[in-house]
Amino acid sequence: MITRLDPTRRDETARPATPVAIDRARELVEPALHAAVDLLTDSRMRLIAGYQLGLWDAAGERAPGGRGKAVRPALVLLAARAVGGRAEAGVPGAVAVELVHNFSLLHDDIMDRDVERRHRPTGWVVYGEGQAILAGNAMLAAALETLLRDDPHHDRTVPALLACVQRLISGQSADLALERDDTAAIEDVLAMEDGKTAALIANSLELGALAAGADTAVVARLAEAGRLAGLAFQLVDDVLGVVGDASVTGKSSSSDIRAGKRSVPVVAALRSGTPEGDELADLLRAAPPETDVEVERAVRLVVTAGGLDWARREAERLLAAAHQELAAAGLGADTATHDAAQDLAEVLDFLVRRDW
Amino acid sequence: MITRLDPTRRDETARPATPVAIDRARELVEPALHAAVDLLTDSRMRLIAGYQLGLWDAAGERAPGGRGKAVRPALVLLAARAVGGRAEAGVPGAVAVELVHNFSLLHDDIMDRDVERRHRPTGWVVYGEGQAILAGNAMLAAALETLLRDDPHHDRTVPALLACVQRLISGQSADLALERDDTAAIEDVLAMEDGKTAALIANSLELGALAAGADTAVVARLAEAGRLAGLAFQLVDDVLGVVGDASVTGKSSSSDIRAGKRSVPVVAALRSGTPEGDELADLLRAAPPETDVEVERAVRLVVTAGGLDWARREAERLLAAAHQELAAAGLGADTATHDAAQDLAEVLDFLVRRDW
């Protein structure tokens, strides 16, 4: 039901080239991620965590597949470098955000009854709901343990991660509450997405900057840049949830429409004050559209009521604002930080600029 | 399905008088617990957390009922005093263990499909499963935030609490895996109960001692005393799950037998090598006993095969060992710490010595 912030869904078909900084970050973070999972004392929790992270298959054997692109860890490392630190300083934070991201995916899949992720059965389908809830909890605890053990700046990063976790929880809670809520305003949906998606992107930059010892003002600028780009990223996801082609998104076409989800384009259409908006409200009132004909009609109404345009314009505006925040942070005084700041800007672009 | 470590279940009928130290601790901890819940930024999470903690009813109105005895917070405060600190030093830890205890109850009730706790509907029944999972997560995060904010010794207490949380998770995971497992050995069940029940009792004493700045050796003794008494407490729960009267336990009589649970007395009987043990194995093989006649027969077989006696003897042995650990910690050099150590011993006794 829930629009995912999972950048991997288009692994096979994504057209923009993956920035090289993402692959470099993965090489650096991968061993530390394995080490963090290895430190889980319970073998069942280790197995489930590693499966969720794509480290191995359901039986614990090495097997390709199920990996995310790991954009968040890359953002942590780039933020550390962009404020003048070494990429290595960001590794504990990178592991922590990847663990928290996957903790939330594992739990959300249970709540949303999603049965597939990254072309594999979801954790609760493989291991049962109870064990999946527990493994999510263990991953959250492991994220904090990683920072406490390996990040010398954990006095700043641990509270920042916990505050982010509270925002993630709040966003997912709002998402559950908003499902098929006909009274939702765009602001409600945006506030939900701010927690559900933008908070962890913001926190990725925040943890990197904190781990490199950046000033509070610079940390706040980077976090805000991440938040703005994260929200833009979610709006693109929302657009793809209306008009996305199954072959491109890896989900059924118009998946959010089929799920009856009140995403930003849908709510923008419903609140547009147009005849098409009113017609859409009538169509969606009782239940999500079921037949392909109904789905196509709903998509057409969202488009003609201006819902997609609104979301696209807002995503563009947010991305531009994110770049302004980055610029305002005053990064790039020397060549190394300048390059890192450029890489960071490129990854934020990559996050948002998909085919839409 | 799961035997609870909830000391409140016998609120109405508990015969041993509640030690006065427990009531005193509650008075000291109560405002801080309210403050911790108030600091949850999400109003829905606040509502559910406060309901789970018994601070208010399902609609958020002040209403009596649903409160635990709060034995764990009392243990934190007494441990702080027993090592020479002030009770106030233990308050953040007391709030943290109460939050973690209730986080685990909220999640366990979902996994076990338990519909009632402390004479009220469980959290997931009232608010839905997804919101209950999220509120549990928020309470776990809030426990850590409380220590970071209010406990000057959080460099020691936060890692200790996280290690405990991993043990709790591991114990609950084993409990789910052991359900109706006919190959389980007593050691497997004891290891599960060590995580599921004993770890947080141990951690309660540990956090109190750490918050008061105690030496590592003293902290370890107190934690071990808590672990031993916690395990004894669980064995008593297991005994009551076989022979407990509904009017006394607040659950259906012989609730663990009806649930087909492989608790310590049941497994001790199954592994006794007696004809009654073999007969019990045949009876339980297919499914839990359903009729009252079958339940009574199973109870009689557990008794005659020596399962109850084994569990009772083991609980007595563990409680005695707990007191030895307390004594070995060398507490009570002056009057104040001596009194606190005595109160601590009394609360451990209270935890274990119920009617059985």
Q: Is B165 on the interface with A (CB under 8 A)?
A: yes
The sign of the dihedral angle between the CA atoms of B141, B145, B148, B153 is negative
Least confident of A128-137, A144-153, A211-220, B245-254: B245-254
pLDDT of res. A152: 97
Q: Find, in chain A, the residue whose alpha carbon is nearest to that of B143.
A: A162
Nearest CA distance, A332 vs chain B (angstrom): 34
Note whether residue A348 is domain-resident. no
pLDDT of res. A47: 98
Residues B243, B238: Cα–Cα separation, whole Å: 9
Which of B133, B145, B162 is the closest to A133 by Cβ?
B133
The alpha carbons of chain B give a radius of gyration, in whole angstroms, of 20
Assign residue A23 the CATH number of its domain.
1.10.600.10
Residues A73, A7: Cα–Cα separation, whole Å: 12
The encoded tokens of residue A23 equal 């692959």
B248 band by pLDDT with thresholds 50, 70 and 90: low
**E strand segments, chain B:** 116-117, 120-121
Tens of pLDDT, residue by residue over A221-257, are 999 999 999 999 999 999 999 998 765 555 667 889 9
Chain A to chain B, count of Cβ pairs less than 8 Å apart? 119
Tokens 């527990």 belong to A134
Tens of pLDDT, residue by residue over B287-345, are 889 899 999 999 999 999 999 999 999 999 999 999 999 999 989 789 989 999 999 99
Do A45 and A112 fall within a single domain? yes
Q: Give the count of domains, chain B.
A: 1
Tens of pLDDT, residue by residue over B335-352, are 989 999 999 999 999 999
pLDDT of res. A204: 98
- Measured between beta carbons, the chain A residues lying within 8 angstroms of B145 are 159, 162-163, 166
Q: What percent of chain B has pLDDT over 70?
A: 92
DSSP class per residue in B45-96: HHHHHHHHTTSS-TTS---S------HHHHHHHHHHHHTT--GGGGHHHHHH
Cβ neighbourhood burial of B115 (10 Å; 0-12, 13-18, 19+): exposed
Q: Which of A162, A169, A179, A192 to mutate to test the interface with B (most CBs of B within 10 A)?
A: A169
Residues B244, B356: Cα–Cα separation, whole Å: 8
Do A41 and A184 fall within a single domain? yes
Quick one: residue A238, left, alpha or beta (phi over 0 = left, psi -120 to 50 = alpha)?
alpha
**Among the three residues A192, A214, A236, which one is the final residue of a domain in this structure?**
A214
- Measured between beta carbons, the chain A residues lying within 8 angstroms of B162 are 141, 144-145, 148
The encoded tokens of residue A200 equal 């962890």
Beta carbons of B203 and B161 less than 8 angstroms apart: yes
Residues B6, A348: Cα–Cα separation, whole Å: 49
Nearest to B180 by CA among B261, B123, B89: B261
Residue A318, pLDDT above cutoff 90: yes
What mean pLDDT is predicted for residues A165-193? 94
Pseudo-torsion of CA B157, B163, B168, B172, nearest 10°? 160
Which residues are within 8 A (CB) of A153 and not within 5 positions of it... i.e. 6 or more apart?
A210, A211, A213
Cβ neighbours around B287 below 10 Å, total: 10
Q: How many CA atoms lie within 13 A of B71 on its CB side?
A: 25
Do A31 and A176 fall within a single domain? yes
Nearest CA distance, B123 vs chain A (angstrom): 14
Which residues share a beta bridge with B120? B117
Cβ pair B40:A141 closer than 8 A = no
Farthest CA pair distance, chain B? 59
Those of residues 130-149 in A touching chain B at CB distance below 8 A are 130-131, 133-134, 136-138, 140-142, 144-145, 148
The encoded tokens of residue A232 equal 């833009």
- Measured between beta carbons, the chain B residues lying within 8 angstroms of A40 are 166
Do A146 and A280 fall within a single domain? no
Pseudo-torsion of CA B271, B276, B280, B282, nearest 10°? 100
Q: Is A183 on the interface with B (CB under 8 A)?
A: no
Cβ pair A148:B158 closer than 8 A = yes
Which of A133, A159, A173 is the closest to B111 by Cβ?
A133
Do A159 and A107 fall within a single domain? yes
Residue B83, pLDDT above cutoff 70: yes
Do A188 and A41 fall within a single domain? yes
DSSP class per residue in A269-308: HHTS-SHHHHHHHHHHHSS---SHHHHHHHHHHHHHTTHH
Label the pairing between strands A116-117 and B116-117.
Answer: unpaired
Q: Find, in chain A, the residue whose alpha carbon is nearest to that of B195.
A: A42
pLDDT of res. A302: 97
Which amino acid makes up residue B17? A
Do A285 and A139 fall within a single domain? no
Pseudo-torsion of CA A65, A66, A69, A70, nearest 10°? -130
Note whether residue A349 is domain-resident. no
Residues B189, B268: Cα–Cα separation, whole Å: 10
- Measured between beta carbons, the chain B residues lying within 8 angstroms of A158 are 144, 148, 158
- Which residue segment(s) compose the domain that B280 sits in? 20-241+253-353
Average pLDDT over chain A reads 91
Do A204 and A222 fall within a single domain? no
Which amino acid makes up residue A162? L
Q: Is B107 on the interface with A (CB under 8 A)?
A: yes
Beta carbons of A119 and B119 less than 8 angstroms apart: no
Q: How many CA atoms lie within 13 A of B315 on its CB side?
A: 26
What mean pLDDT is predicted for residues B266-280? 96
Note whether residue B182 is domain-resident. yes
Beta carbons of B72 and B200 less than 8 angstroms apart: yes
Q: Find, in chain A, the residue whose alpha carbon is nearest to that of B134.
A: A169
Nearest CA distance, B45 vs chain A (angstrom): 8
A355 band by pLDDT with thresholds 50, 70 and 90: low
State the DSSP code for A121.
E
Do A135 and A195 fall within a single domain? yes
